[in-house]
């Protein structure tokens, strides 16, 4: 949560978007993290238009408790790679639809990182999976979070089993 958290050092996931036009995916990620009781923050910083501010954000993020970054961008989509170039914390990239190939350009820009600087990449616009992957990474050192993730999976399976189309199975 951004507003209700008194201690900003508990914000374990730093979500950064390249533009306000990307914010819906970031908010979907934050909603999943909220559900899993993982505090996060959203920042709007373009790697191209505000490179110095981005460097300041990354330099200060770890001290504020950020353990995993989610970076959301469309078009040339350099943001996740630039974040990864400046931290050894895990970076998850979310490509956004738009541009000449409606997100395929951003997907390839994010997933095709050169050796040495990885970015984990989720599907186009898939803020939810970025949040779940961030939570899975954090859960390695947080068994309670791991239990909440397992419960979410169980709920998901139960909802599918409960679909009227699956009656009798």
Site residues (vs ligand RP5, CB under 6 A):
18-19, 21-22, 46, 73-75, 96, 98
Closer of 74 and 138 to ligand RP5 (Cβ) = 74
Q: Minimum distance between the CB of residue 152 and ligand RP5, rounded to whole angstroms?
A: 28
Q: Minimum distance between the CB of residue 59 and ligand RP5, rounded to whole angstroms?
A: 21
Closer of 73 and 134 to ligand RP5 (Cβ) = 73
Q: Minimum distance between the CB of residue 20 and ligand RP5, rounded to whole angstroms?
A: 7
Closer of 112 and 156 to ligand RP5 (Cβ) = 112
Q: Minimum distance between the CB of residue 54 and ligand RP5, rounded to whole angstroms?
A: 11
Closer of 32 and 54 to ligand RP5 (Cβ) = 54
Closer of 14 and 98 to ligand RP5 (Cβ) = 98
Say how far apart CA 135 and CA 3 lie, in whole Å: 20
Q: Minimum distance between the CB of residue 32 and ligand RP5, rounded to whole angstroms?
A: 20
Sorted by sequence, the CB contacts under 8 Å of residue 121 that are 6+ apart come out as 80, 92, 93, 94, 95, 107, 110, 111
């Amino acid at each position: 949560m951004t507003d209700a958290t008194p201690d900003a050092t508990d914000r374990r996931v730093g979500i950064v978007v390249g533009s306000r036009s990307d914010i819906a995916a970031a908010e979907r990620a934050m909603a999943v993290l909220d559900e899993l009781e993982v505090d996060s923050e959203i920042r709007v910083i373009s790697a191209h238009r505000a490179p110095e501010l981005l460097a300041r954000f990354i330099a200060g993020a770890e001290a504020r408790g950020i353990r995993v970054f989610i970076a959301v961008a469309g078009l040339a989509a350099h943001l996740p790679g630039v974040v990864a170039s400046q931290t050894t914390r895990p970076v998850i990239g979310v490509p956004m639809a738009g541009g000449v190939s409606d997100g395929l350009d951003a997907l390839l820009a994010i997933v095709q990182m050169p050796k040495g600087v990885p970015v984990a990449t989720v599907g186009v616009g898939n803020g939810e999976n970025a949040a779940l992957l961030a939570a899975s990474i954090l859960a390695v050192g947080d068994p309670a979070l791991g239990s909440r993730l397992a419960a979410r999976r169980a709920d998901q399976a139960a909802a599918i089993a409960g679909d009227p189309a699956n009656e009798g199975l």
